Amino acid sequence: MKKYFVTAISTDSGKTLVSALLVNALQADYWKPIQTGNANSDKDTVKRLVYSGNPMIHPEAYSLKEPLSPHAAAELEHIEIDLNKIVVPDTDNHPLIIEGAGGVLVPINQKELMIDLIKKLDVEVILVSNHYLGSINHTLLTAQALKGYQIPVKGIIFNGPPTPASEQIILKHTGYKHLLSIPPLEQITGDIVYQYSIRLFDRWDD
């Protein structure tokens, strides 16, 4: 079973959209181990957007009410997130797309960060970088953290207005494979996700 962890350089970078693309492209299952702000669950969004096959959408290990960092949302519910209780679900040998919460240095509890969960799960990362002033710095810092933890990276997906100069310098300094660039979308539908998932699949093993 191949496992891919979708993380990003900041919150609201497009991890859920990218996760849906990957589920479509790879005929994969989906799992978000830690969900905050559970009134708007990301697994429900993925289920709505995915056309291909009949993917298993696995339940969260932790589903927290407030849309805060995991450690803060858990503390409000008098919970401490325990990495040992986050166990990869059985997917019957289908690929598994795992969506993170926030970026790699988001705290999970008072001692551990999201990157510690990534390391524990023994997965390959797909990094989402969205374009804004400062995103080059944030992307390279994220790449440096992943390298320091010796976490493999399958590649990078850019999300937002086309910015070739930013993409070029990021690819040069990280050495990451460019998997896809997603322009601003007026609406996100199953048809749009399907179209971009085909483009992603075509570049997957180039």
Domains of the chain, by residue range, sit at 3-204
Cα–Cα distances (Å) from 131 to 103, 106, 124, 192, in that order, read: 15, 20, 23, 20
Distance between CA atoms of residues 66 and 72, nearest Å = 9
Structure tokens at 109: 């509890």
Distance between CA atoms of residues 50 and 72, nearest Å = 31
Q: What superfamily in CATH does domain 3-204 come from?
A: P-loop containing nucleotide triphosphate hydrolases (3.40.50.300)
Whole-model pTM over 0.85: yes
Ramachandran region of residue 124, left (φ > 0), alpha (ψ -120 to 50) or beta? beta
Return the higher-pLDDT residue of 29 and 40.
29
pLDDT of residue 93: 75
pLDDT of residue 205: 87
Instruction: Kindly provide the b/e burial profile for residues 89-114, where b requires at least 16 CB atoms within 10 angstroms of the residue's own CB.
Output: eebeebbbbbbbbbbbebbbbeebbb
What are the catalytic residues? 32
pLDDT digits (tens, 9 = 90+) for 87-134: 999 888 789 999 999 999 999 999 999 999 999 999 999 999 999 999
For a pLDDT cut of 70, what percent of the chain falls above it? 99
